Amino acid sequence: MADIVLSTLNAKYIHSAFGLRYLLANMGELRPRTRILEFDIQRRPVDIVDALLAENPRIVGFGVYIWNVSQTAEVVSTLRRLLPDLTIILGGPEVSFEIDQQPIVELADYVVTGEADLKFAEVCASLMAGEKPDRKIISSEIPDPASILSPYDLYDEDDAAHRVIYVEASRGCPFTCEFCLSSLEIPVRQFPLEPFLAAMDRLLDRGVTQFKFVDRTFNLNLKVGKAILQFFLDRMRPGLFVHFEMIPDRLPQGLRDLVTQFPPGALQFEVGVQTFNPEVAALISRRQKYDQLEDNFQFLRRSTGVHIHADLIVGLPGESLDSFGEGFDRLVALAPQEIQVGILKRLRGTPIVRHDSQWEMIYNPNPPYEILQNKLLSFGDLQRMRSFARFWDLVGNSGNFVETTPMIWRRSGTPFQSFLQFSDWLFERTEARHGIALTRLIQLLHEFLNSEQGVSPAAAAEALWNDCLSAGRTEIPPFLREQLPDRAPPPRASMRAGGLKRQARRAA
More confident position, 216 or 444 = 444
Query: Is the Cα torsion angle 195, 201, 206, 211 positive or negative in sign?
Result: positive
Residue 399 has φ and ψ, to the nearest 5°, of 85, -5
Please state, rounded to an integer, the average pLDDT across all residues of the chain. Answer: 93
- What percent of the chain is predicted at pLDDT more than 70? 96
| 3-class secondary structure, 170 | strand
Question: Given CA atoms 482, 487, 492, 497 in this order, what sign does their dihedral have?
Answer: negative
Q: Which residues contact 380 (CB under 8 A, 6 or more apart)?
A: none
Q: What angle do CA 437, 439, 441 make, to 5 degrees?
A: 70
Closest to 217 measured CA to CA, from 274, 288, 169: 169
- Contact status, residue 6 vs residue 36, Cβ threshold 8 Å: yes
Q: Which amino acid is at 183?
A: S
Q: Which of 416-430, 436-450, 482-496 shows the lowest per-residue confidence on average (mean pLDDT)?
A: 482-496
**Cα gap 289→161, rounded to integer Å:** 40
Whether 326 shows a pLDDT value over 70: the answer reads: yes
Specify the pLDDT at position 499: 38
Phi then psi for residue 87, to 5 deg, are -85, 120
| Domains of the chain, start order | 4-143 (3.40.50.280), 155-377 (3.80.30.20), 400-508 (no CATH)
In angstroms, the CA 413 to CA 378 distance is 23
Distance of CA 507 to the CA centre of its chain: 6
Query: 366 — alpha (psi -120 to 50), left (phi > 0) or beta?
Result: beta
Is pTM beyond 0.85 here? yes
Distance between CA atoms of residues 341 and 424, nearest Å: 16
Cα separations in angstroms, 280 against 104, 118, 320, 322: 35, 39, 10, 13
For the chain, give me the number of helices (H) and strands (E)? 19, 16
